A = this chain, B = another copy of it.
Amino acid sequence: MSKTRKHVENLSKLNAKDMYNGDFFLTWEKSDDEIKAVFEVAQALRDLRERNISTKIFDSGLGISIFRDNSTRTRFSFASACNLLGLEVSDLDEGKSQIAHGETVRETANMISFMADVIGIRDDMYIGKGNAYMHEVVDAVAQGHEDGVLEQKPTLVNLQCDIDHPTQAMADCLHLIDHFGGIENLKGKKIAMSWAYSPSYGKPLSVPQGIIGLMTRMGMEVVLAHPEGYEVMPEVEQVAMENAKKSGGSFKRVNNMAEAFQDADIVYPKSWASFAAMEKRTDLYGKGDFDGIKALEKELLAENAKHKDWECTEELMKTTKDGKALYMHCLPADISGVSCKEGEVAASVFDRYRNPLYKEASFKPYIIAAMIFLAKVKNPAAKLEELEKAAVQRWNQD
Protein backbone atom coordinates (compact mmCIF):
# COMPACT_ATOMS: atom_id res chain seq x y z
CA MET A 1 0.00 0.00 0.00
CA SER A 2 1.40 3.39 -1.00
CA LYS A 3 1.95 6.11 1.57
CA THR A 4 -0.66 8.18 -0.23
CA ARG A 5 -3.17 5.34 0.12
CA LYS A 6 -2.49 5.24 3.87
CA HIS A 7 -2.94 9.00 4.22
CA VAL A 8 -6.14 8.83 2.18
CA GLU A 9 -7.47 6.21 4.58
CA ASN A 10 -6.59 8.32 7.60
CA LEU A 11 -8.09 11.38 5.95
CA SER A 12 -11.35 9.66 5.16
CA LYS A 13 -11.94 9.14 8.89
CA LEU A 14 -11.56 12.85 9.67
CA ASN A 15 -14.24 15.50 9.46
CA ALA A 16 -12.72 18.37 7.51
CA LYS A 17 -15.71 19.25 5.38
CA ASP A 18 -16.03 22.75 6.89
CA MET A 19 -12.64 23.59 5.45
CA TYR A 20 -14.14 23.51 1.95
CA ASN A 21 -14.38 27.10 0.70
CA GLY A 22 -12.85 28.22 3.98
CA ASP A 23 -9.79 30.23 5.02
CA PHE A 24 -6.85 29.60 7.31
CA PHE A 25 -6.21 32.28 9.94
CA LEU A 26 -5.18 30.64 13.24
CA THR A 27 -4.56 27.00 14.08
CA TRP A 28 -6.70 27.20 17.22
CA GLU A 29 -9.71 28.16 15.15
CA LYS A 30 -9.52 24.73 13.52
CA SER A 31 -10.77 21.46 15.03
CA ASP A 32 -8.36 18.61 15.81
CA ASP A 33 -9.72 16.74 12.81
CA GLU A 34 -9.04 19.71 10.57
CA ILE A 35 -5.46 20.07 11.82
CA LYS A 36 -4.89 16.37 11.26
CA ALA A 37 -6.43 16.59 7.81
CA VAL A 38 -3.86 19.22 6.83
CA PHE A 39 -1.08 16.86 7.93
CA GLU A 40 -2.52 13.90 6.04
CA VAL A 41 -3.00 15.88 2.84
CA ALA A 42 0.47 17.47 3.12
CA GLN A 43 2.05 14.03 3.46
CA ALA A 44 0.05 12.62 0.58
CA LEU A 45 0.99 15.54 -1.67
CA ARG A 46 4.65 15.06 -0.74
CA ASP A 47 4.48 11.35 -1.47
CA LEU A 48 2.90 12.00 -4.86
CA ARG A 49 5.49 14.62 -5.69
CA GLU A 50 8.27 12.23 -4.69
CA ARG A 51 6.77 9.66 -7.03
CA ASN A 52 6.62 12.26 -9.82
CA ILE A 53 2.82 12.29 -9.91
CA SER A 54 1.17 15.58 -10.83
CA THR A 55 -1.17 17.09 -8.25
CA LYS A 56 -2.47 19.91 -10.41
CA ILE A 57 -6.10 20.54 -9.60
CA PHE A 58 -6.18 23.87 -11.44
CA ASP A 59 -5.92 24.21 -15.20
CA SER A 60 -5.48 27.97 -14.74
CA GLY A 61 -6.01 30.46 -11.94
CA LEU A 62 -3.97 32.85 -9.80
CA GLY A 63 -2.44 32.73 -6.34
CA ILE A 64 -2.01 36.30 -5.10
CA SER A 65 0.68 37.07 -2.56
CA ILE A 66 0.95 40.15 -0.40
CA PHE A 67 4.15 40.44 1.61
CA ARG A 68 4.22 43.42 3.93
CA ASP A 69 7.56 42.26 5.29
CA ASN A 70 10.63 40.79 3.61
CA SER A 71 10.51 37.07 3.05
CA THR A 72 12.43 34.35 1.25
CA ARG A 73 11.41 31.03 2.76
CA THR A 74 7.70 31.77 2.93
CA ARG A 75 7.65 33.53 -0.45
CA PHE A 76 9.17 30.50 -2.18
CA SER A 77 7.04 28.09 -0.14
CA PHE A 78 3.89 29.88 -1.26
CA ALA A 79 5.08 29.99 -4.88
CA SER A 80 5.90 26.28 -4.70
CA ALA A 81 2.54 25.36 -3.20
CA CYS A 82 0.62 27.32 -5.82
CA ASN A 83 2.66 25.85 -8.65
CA LEU A 84 2.18 22.33 -7.28
CA LEU A 85 -1.59 22.75 -7.59
CA GLY A 86 -1.57 24.56 -10.95
CA LEU A 87 -1.89 28.19 -9.89
CA GLU A 88 0.32 31.00 -11.18
CA VAL A 89 1.62 33.42 -8.57
CA SER A 90 0.96 37.13 -8.98
CA ASP A 91 2.54 39.31 -6.34
CA LEU A 92 0.95 42.56 -5.19
CA ASP A 93 3.95 44.80 -4.75
CA GLU A 94 2.37 47.63 -2.79
CA GLY A 95 5.30 49.87 -3.77
CA LYS A 96 4.62 49.58 -7.49
CA SER A 97 0.87 49.72 -7.18
CA GLN A 98 -1.51 52.54 -7.74
CA ILE A 99 -3.21 52.23 -4.36
CA ALA A 100 -4.68 55.63 -3.64
CA HIS A 101 -4.15 57.33 -0.31
CA GLY A 102 -7.17 56.25 1.71
CA GLU A 103 -8.16 53.51 -0.73
CA THR A 104 -10.03 50.93 1.26
CA VAL A 105 -8.79 47.41 1.79
CA ARG A 106 -12.16 46.33 0.45
CA GLU A 107 -11.49 47.98 -2.87
CA THR A 108 -7.92 46.78 -3.33
CA ALA A 109 -8.86 43.25 -2.28
CA ASN A 110 -11.51 43.05 -4.97
CA MET A 111 -9.41 44.68 -7.65
CA ILE A 112 -6.66 42.04 -7.38
CA SER A 113 -8.98 39.06 -7.01
CA PHE A 114 -10.91 38.84 -10.27
CA MET A 115 -9.29 35.50 -10.99
CA ALA A 116 -7.66 34.75 -7.66
CA ASP A 117 -8.24 31.32 -6.18
CA VAL A 118 -5.90 31.94 -3.25
CA ILE A 119 -4.54 34.96 -1.41
CA GLY A 120 -1.49 34.51 0.81
CA ILE A 121 -0.65 37.37 3.18
CA ARG A 122 2.27 38.10 5.48
CA ASP A 123 1.62 41.06 7.79
CA ASP A 124 3.33 40.59 11.12
CA MET A 125 4.78 43.97 11.96
CA TYR A 126 2.17 45.61 14.18
CA ILE A 127 0.17 44.23 17.07
CA GLY A 128 -3.54 44.23 16.38
CA LYS A 129 -3.05 44.89 12.68
CA GLY A 130 -1.99 41.85 10.65
CA ASN A 131 -4.74 39.42 11.52
CA ALA A 132 -7.31 42.20 11.38
CA TYR A 133 -6.11 43.13 7.89
CA MET A 134 -6.49 39.53 6.73
CA HIS A 135 -10.06 39.46 8.03
CA GLU A 136 -10.81 42.67 6.18
CA VAL A 137 -9.49 41.14 2.96
CA VAL A 138 -11.53 37.96 3.42
CA ASP A 139 -14.71 39.88 4.25
CA ALA A 140 -14.16 42.02 1.16
CA VAL A 141 -13.67 39.16 -1.28
CA ALA A 142 -16.49 37.10 0.24
CA GLN A 143 -18.76 40.08 -0.31
CA GLY A 144 -17.34 40.58 -3.82
CA HIS A 145 -18.11 36.96 -4.65
CA GLU A 146 -21.63 37.24 -3.28
CA ASP A 147 -22.21 40.40 -5.31
CA GLY A 148 -21.09 38.75 -8.54
CA VAL A 149 -17.92 40.85 -8.79
CA LEU A 150 -15.68 37.83 -8.34
CA GLU A 151 -16.39 34.53 -10.06
CA GLN A 152 -14.91 32.63 -7.11
CA LYS A 153 -14.20 33.29 -3.43
CA PRO A 154 -10.44 33.32 -2.98
CA THR A 155 -9.13 31.34 -0.01
CA LEU A 156 -6.92 33.14 2.47
CA VAL A 157 -3.76 31.53 3.75
CA ASN A 158 -2.21 33.39 6.69
CA LEU A 159 1.50 33.46 5.87
CA GLN A 160 2.26 35.10 9.25
CA CYS A 161 0.33 37.65 11.22
CA ASP A 162 0.79 39.39 14.56
CA ILE A 163 -0.89 36.48 16.39
CA ASP A 164 0.02 33.22 14.67
CA HIS A 165 2.32 31.81 12.01
CA PRO A 166 0.22 28.77 11.15
CA THR A 167 2.16 27.55 8.11
CA GLN A 168 5.39 27.64 10.16
CA ALA A 169 3.94 26.01 13.28
CA MET A 170 2.27 23.29 11.22
CA ALA A 171 5.40 22.63 9.15
CA ASP A 172 7.29 22.42 12.46
CA CYS A 173 4.75 19.98 13.82
CA LEU A 174 4.81 17.82 10.70
CA HIS A 175 8.58 17.75 11.05
CA LEU A 176 8.10 16.38 14.58
CA ILE A 177 5.54 13.82 13.36
CA ASP A 178 8.04 12.73 10.72
CA HIS A 179 10.96 12.71 13.17
CA PHE A 180 9.20 10.81 15.95
CA GLY A 181 7.36 8.46 13.60
CA GLY A 182 3.76 9.51 14.04
CA ILE A 183 1.50 12.09 15.64
CA GLU A 184 0.70 9.68 18.49
CA ASN A 185 4.39 9.64 19.46
CA LEU A 186 4.33 13.33 20.29
CA LYS A 187 2.28 12.63 23.43
CA GLY A 188 4.35 13.34 26.53
CA LYS A 189 7.31 14.77 24.65
CA LYS A 190 8.78 17.88 26.24
CA ILE A 191 9.32 20.90 23.98
CA ALA A 192 11.12 24.04 25.19
CA MET A 193 10.01 27.12 23.26
CA SER A 194 12.60 29.49 24.59
CA TRP A 195 13.50 33.11 24.02
CA ALA A 196 17.12 33.56 22.96
CA TYR A 197 19.34 36.57 22.64
CA SER A 198 19.69 38.35 19.30
CA PRO A 199 21.39 41.64 18.51
CA SER A 200 18.45 42.63 16.36
CA TYR A 201 15.19 44.19 17.37
CA GLY A 202 11.50 43.77 16.89
CA LYS A 203 11.27 40.13 15.81
CA PRO A 204 7.60 39.12 15.64
CA LEU A 205 5.85 37.10 18.33
CA SER A 206 4.01 34.89 15.91
CA VAL A 207 6.45 31.98 16.02
CA PRO A 208 6.48 31.39 19.80
CA GLN A 209 2.74 32.02 19.86
CA GLY A 210 2.14 29.66 16.97
CA ILE A 211 4.24 26.96 18.63
CA ILE A 212 2.57 27.10 22.06
CA GLY A 213 -0.83 27.39 20.42
CA LEU A 214 -0.32 24.24 18.34
CA MET A 215 2.03 21.92 20.23
CA THR A 216 -0.19 21.98 23.34
CA ARG A 217 -2.81 20.15 21.24
CA MET A 218 -0.52 17.18 20.72
CA GLY A 219 -0.41 16.11 24.38
CA MET A 220 3.09 17.52 24.67
CA GLU A 221 4.71 19.13 27.68
CA VAL A 222 5.16 22.63 26.39
CA VAL A 223 7.43 24.98 28.30
CA LEU A 224 7.64 28.62 27.30
CA ALA A 225 10.79 30.26 28.65
CA HIS A 226 11.77 33.91 28.46
CA PRO A 227 13.28 36.68 30.58
CA GLU A 228 10.80 38.79 32.48
CA GLY A 229 9.40 41.47 30.23
CA TYR A 230 9.33 39.26 27.14
CA GLU A 231 5.79 38.04 27.61
CA VAL A 232 3.75 36.89 24.63
CA MET A 233 0.09 37.83 24.12
CA PRO A 234 -1.91 36.73 27.18
CA GLU A 235 -4.81 35.46 25.06
CA VAL A 236 -2.49 33.06 23.26
CA GLU A 237 -1.15 31.76 26.58
CA GLN A 238 -4.78 31.21 27.54
CA VAL A 239 -5.29 29.17 24.37
CA ALA A 240 -2.18 27.11 25.17
CA MET A 241 -3.41 26.45 28.70
CA GLU A 242 -6.81 25.24 27.52
CA ASN A 243 -5.32 23.16 24.75
CA ALA A 244 -3.00 21.42 27.19
CA LYS A 245 -5.87 20.62 29.49
CA LYS A 246 -7.90 19.05 26.69
CA SER A 247 -5.04 17.12 25.12
CA GLY A 248 -3.66 15.68 28.34
CA GLY A 249 -0.44 17.62 27.91
CA SER A 250 0.84 20.56 29.91
CA PHE A 251 1.81 24.17 29.45
CA LYS A 252 3.97 26.22 31.75
CA ARG A 253 5.97 29.37 31.63
CA VAL A 254 9.40 29.79 33.22
CA ASN A 255 11.97 32.57 33.29
CA ASN A 256 14.91 30.29 32.94
CA MET A 257 16.35 28.74 29.83
CA ALA A 258 18.14 25.97 31.73
CA GLU A 259 14.94 24.84 33.41
CA ALA A 260 13.16 24.69 30.06
CA PHE A 261 15.96 22.70 28.43
CA GLN A 262 16.22 20.15 31.25
CA ASP A 263 15.30 16.74 29.77
CA ALA A 264 13.59 18.37 26.81
CA ASP A 265 12.98 16.20 23.74
CA ILE A 266 12.82 19.26 21.53
CA VAL A 267 14.23 22.76 21.93
CA TYR A 268 13.20 25.83 19.93
CA PRO A 269 15.38 28.78 21.04
CA LYS A 270 14.46 31.97 19.17
CA SER A 271 14.45 35.67 19.80
CA TRP A 272 11.36 37.88 19.88
CA ALA A 273 10.34 41.30 21.02
CA SER A 274 8.03 41.50 24.00
CA PHE A 275 4.34 41.96 23.45
CA ALA A 276 4.36 45.14 25.54
CA ALA A 277 7.22 46.62 23.49
CA MET A 278 5.51 45.69 20.24
CA GLU A 279 2.31 47.34 21.42
CA LYS A 280 4.20 50.48 22.38
CA ARG A 281 5.83 50.48 18.97
CA THR A 282 2.49 50.06 17.22
CA ASP A 283 1.13 53.04 19.17
CA LEU A 284 4.12 55.21 18.27
CA TYR A 285 3.79 54.15 14.66
CA GLY A 286 0.11 55.07 14.71
CA LYS A 287 1.03 58.54 15.99
CA GLY A 288 3.79 58.86 13.42
CA ASP A 289 6.28 59.37 16.29
CA PHE A 290 9.42 58.14 14.56
CA ASP A 291 11.74 59.71 17.11
CA GLY A 292 9.83 57.81 19.75
CA ILE A 293 10.31 54.60 17.75
CA LYS A 294 14.07 55.23 17.56
CA ALA A 295 14.27 55.87 21.29
CA LEU A 296 12.24 52.72 21.97
CA GLU A 297 14.48 50.69 19.72
CA LYS A 298 17.58 51.85 21.59
CA GLU A 299 15.95 51.05 24.89
CA LEU A 300 14.90 47.59 23.74
CA LEU A 301 18.32 46.74 22.36
CA ALA A 302 19.82 47.75 25.71
CA GLU A 303 17.26 45.55 27.45
CA ASN A 304 18.04 42.65 25.07
CA ALA A 305 21.75 43.00 25.80
CA LYS A 306 21.12 42.14 29.48
CA HIS A 307 20.16 38.63 28.39
CA LYS A 308 23.10 37.54 26.26
CA ASP A 309 23.32 34.42 28.38
CA TRP A 310 20.09 33.17 26.75
CA GLU A 311 22.00 31.25 24.11
CA CYS A 312 21.54 27.66 22.99
CA THR A 313 25.02 26.36 23.87
CA GLU A 314 26.55 22.90 23.80
CA GLU A 315 26.40 22.90 27.60
CA LEU A 316 22.66 23.51 27.57
CA MET A 317 22.12 20.89 24.88
CA LYS A 318 23.84 18.33 27.14
CA THR A 319 21.12 18.84 29.76
CA THR A 320 18.38 17.82 27.32
CA LYS A 321 16.99 14.26 27.01
CA ASP A 322 20.05 12.04 26.51
CA GLY A 323 21.86 15.21 25.46
CA LYS A 324 20.13 14.81 22.11
CA ALA A 325 17.07 17.02 21.98
CA LEU A 326 15.92 17.91 18.50
CA TYR A 327 16.95 21.52 17.86
CA MET A 328 14.43 23.56 15.85
CA HIS A 329 14.35 27.00 14.30
CA CYS A 330 12.18 28.77 11.72
CA LEU A 331 15.36 30.20 10.09
CA PRO A 332 17.31 32.31 9.53
CA ALA A 333 18.93 31.90 12.96
CA ASP A 334 21.31 34.35 14.61
CA ILE A 335 24.33 32.09 14.96
CA SER A 336 27.05 33.19 17.39
CA GLY A 337 30.26 33.99 15.61
CA VAL A 338 28.67 33.47 12.19
CA SER A 339 25.81 35.86 11.52
CA CYS A 340 26.56 37.97 14.60
CA LYS A 341 29.05 38.15 17.49
CA GLU A 342 26.65 36.76 20.05
CA GLY A 343 23.37 35.21 19.05
CA GLU A 344 20.64 32.67 19.58
CA VAL A 345 22.69 29.54 19.11
CA ALA A 346 26.28 28.28 19.18
CA ALA A 347 27.68 27.56 15.73
CA SER A 348 28.53 23.95 16.58
CA VAL A 349 24.96 23.22 17.71
CA PHE A 350 23.49 24.83 14.61
CA ASP A 351 25.86 22.96 12.32
CA ARG A 352 25.02 19.60 13.84
CA TYR A 353 21.32 20.17 13.19
CA ARG A 354 21.60 21.73 9.77
CA ASN A 355 20.08 18.80 7.95
CA PRO A 356 17.02 18.42 10.24
CA LEU A 357 16.55 22.21 10.12
CA TYR A 358 16.35 22.19 6.34
CA LYS A 359 13.97 19.23 6.47
CA GLU A 360 11.81 21.16 8.93
CA ALA A 361 11.62 24.02 6.42
CA SER A 362 10.87 21.65 3.54
CA PHE A 363 7.44 20.79 4.93
CA LYS A 364 6.13 24.34 4.56
CA PRO A 365 5.25 24.22 0.84
CA TYR A 366 3.26 21.03 1.44
CA ILE A 367 1.46 22.49 4.46
CA ILE A 368 0.43 25.52 2.40
CA ALA A 369 -0.61 23.31 -0.51
CA ALA A 370 -2.66 21.14 1.86
CA MET A 371 -4.45 24.17 3.30
CA ILE A 372 -5.36 25.26 -0.22
CA PHE A 373 -6.31 21.72 -1.28
CA LEU A 374 -8.72 21.30 1.63
CA ALA A 375 -10.34 24.65 0.87
CA LYS A 376 -10.66 23.97 -2.83
CA VAL A 377 -11.64 20.32 -3.14
CA LYS A 378 -15.01 18.99 -2.07
CA ASN A 379 -13.88 15.46 -1.39
CA PRO A 380 -10.14 15.59 -0.70
CA ALA A 381 -9.69 11.87 -0.01
CA ALA A 382 -11.34 10.88 -3.27
CA LYS A 383 -9.40 13.52 -5.19
CA LEU A 384 -6.04 12.31 -3.84
CA GLU A 385 -6.95 8.77 -4.81
CA GLU A 386 -7.94 9.96 -8.26
CA LEU A 387 -4.64 11.83 -8.69
CA GLU A 388 -2.66 8.78 -7.62
CA LYS A 389 -4.57 6.58 -10.01
CA ALA A 390 -4.32 8.97 -12.95
CA ALA A 391 -0.58 9.16 -12.28
CA VAL A 392 0.08 12.00 -14.70
CA GLN A 393 3.85 12.52 -14.73
CA ARG A 394 4.90 15.87 -13.33
CA TRP A 395 8.29 15.68 -14.97
CA ASN A 396 8.27 13.77 -18.18
CA GLN A 397 11.87 12.55 -18.05
CA ASP A 398 11.75 9.04 -19.41
Bound Cα distance from A128 to B235, whole angstroms? 53
- Assembly stoichiometry (copies): 3
Which one of B57, B62, B103, B339 lies within 8 Å of A103 (CB-CB)?
A: B339
Bound Cα distance from A397 to B59, whole angstroms? 11
Q: Which of A243-251, A283-291, A308-316, A377-385 contacts B (4 or more CB under 8 A)?
A: A377-385
Q: Does A1 contact B (CB under 8 A)?
A: no
Q: How far is the CB of A177 from chain B (nearest CB, A)?
A: 15
Which one of B67, B69, B97, B338 lies within 8 Å of A72 (CB-CB)?
A: B97
Bound Cα distance from A71 to B340, whole angstroms? 33
**Is there contact, CB below 8 Å, between A152 and B339?**
no
Bound Cα distance from A16 to B314, whole angstroms? 49
The interface bits of chain A over 109-122 (1 if a CB of B lies within 8 angstroms of the residue's CB, else 0) are 01110110100000
Q: Does A99 contact B (CB under 8 A)?
A: yes
Q: Does A181 contact B (CB under 8 A)?
A: no
**Is there contact, CB below 8 Å, between A115 and B83?**
yes
Q: How far is the CB of A232 from chain B (nearest CB, A)?
A: 21
- Which residue on B lies nearest to A199, using beta carbons? B101
Number of interface residues, chain A, beta carbon within 8 A: 84
Q: Does A33 contact B (CB under 8 A)?
A: no
Q: Would you give 7 A-B contacts (Cβ < 8 Å), ordered by A?
A: A49-B151, A59-B396, A73-B98, A76-B112, A83-B115, A110-B358, A378-B398
Known: A102-B339, A106-B354. 6 other contacts (CB 8 A): A57-B395, A58-B395, A69-B98, A147-B359, A149-B355, A378-B397
Q: Which residues of A contact B (CB under 8 A)?
A: 46, 49-50, 54-62, 64, 67, 69-73, 75-77, 79-80, 83-84, 86, 88-90, 92, 96-104, 106-108, 110-112, 114-115, 117, 144, 147-152, 331-335, 338-340, 354-355, 358-359, 361-362, 364-365, 376-379, 383, 392-398
